[in-house]
Structure 1
Amino acid sequence: MRLTLSSEEETIALGERLGRRLKPGSVVLLRGELGAGKTTLARGLARGAGYRGRVSSPTFALAHAYRGKRLTVHHLDLYRVARGEDSEIGLDELLADPRGAVVVEWPDAAGGLWPKDRLEVTLSHVSGGRRAALKATGPRARALQSSRIGK
């Protein structure tokens, strides 16, 4: 599924729609060049999951936890992590959190450690805004990416 997002508000709104569908165990991988809107989309995901505080990029902290009423969104930014180096961030524990969903910027730094059931969102700059390409693999991810998510 491909969507065109003409503003930051539309990017946040897409994240909120996805965030309302997040369930414990959901994994969302965010790809795109610097400034493509990954953190903005993550902000919307956290809001949609019920978190009302400030959401910022965890580039230097590596991970932030946003606790909403129904689940915790673990937001990771692996931009500064060496490829395949996950021991420092406790990736296994975050993925196993029975109340958590995981949202990851720059996921390729962790190699192939991600579960097969995941939603991948690739953001890119296009004339007049951004494009979001969504690819779901597995039943949980397909439930996130329904035909109504673009509205």
Structure 2
Amino acid sequence: MIDVNKFTLSNEQATLVFGKKLALACETELKKQKQAIIIYLLGDLGAGKTTLSRGFLHGLGYQGAVKSPTYTLVEPYQFDNFTIYHFDLYRLATPEELEFMGIRDYFSTRCICLIEWPQCAQGFLPTADLIITLDYFDHQRQISLATATERGQRIMADIMD
């Protein structure tokens, strides 16, 4: 069921615009089905994961600063009808730490979860709807967008239109 699309983001602004487009597609999908949308964000340090998350949040109308929740592990952003949880699991010592913070509770609500460094929590996270990988490519970013669920396929189809 995995579909993959690859394309280039020419600069930071293009990454922000892509984040906004992704957010609007996710918001549309969340209106149809109320369970959590899970998005894994993969890539080296500085690849643009947090920039994409900033574009995502600003695309939905959030006005404040968006930074990586490296030390807090998760940062919630409350909207009228749903919550976005921005995770950064880079500094996670062991995946078991997630049990202490009640990780399963985050995925049982009407929300969108942006998860940076999901590989640090293998076995403790639900299946992603979308897996986004950002790589350096010259002075640009190569983005790979993979779906892992039917829901992810619908979101990707909306983005690619």
Does TM, normalized by the shorter one, top 0.5?
yes
Q: Does 1 or 2 have the higher relative contact order (CA < 8 Å, sep 6+)?
A: 2
Distance 2:68 2:160 in 1: 24
1:92 maps to 104
- Matched residue type, 1:8: E
Question: How many residue pairs get matched?
Answer: 149
Alpha-carbon contact 1:28-1:119 (below 8 Å) kept: yes
Could you tell me which of 13, 35, 38 is aligned with 1:27? 38
Alpha-carbon contact 1:51-1:69 (below 8 Å) kept: no
Q: Which runs of 5+ in 1 are unaligned?
A: none
TM-score by length of 2: 0.85
Query: Per-residue deviation at 1:150?
Result: 4.6
- Matched residue type, 1:110: A
Residues 1:110 and 1:117: Cα distance change in structure 2 (over 3 Å): closer
Question: What's the % identity of the aligned pairs?
Answer: 34
Distance 2:21 2:129 in 1: 16
2:12 maps to 8
2:159 maps to 149
**RMSD across aligned C-alpha pairs, in angstroms?**
1.7
- Matched residue type, 1:94: Y
Alpha-carbon contact 2:47-2:135 (below 8 Å) kept: yes
2:114 maps to 103
- Matched residue type, 1:91: I
**Which structure has the larger Rg over C-alpha atoms?**
2
Alpha-carbon contact 2:130-2:145 (below 8 Å) kept: yes
Q: 1:101-124 CA deviation, whole Å, 9 max, x = no partner? A: 100100111103332352000000
TM-score by length of 1: 0.90
Alpha-carbon contact 2:38-2:127 (below 8 Å) kept: no
Higher helix share: 2
Following TM superposition, the consecutive aligned residue runs of length 4 or more in structure 1 with deviations greater than 4 angstroms are none
Distance 1:4 1:125 in 2: 10
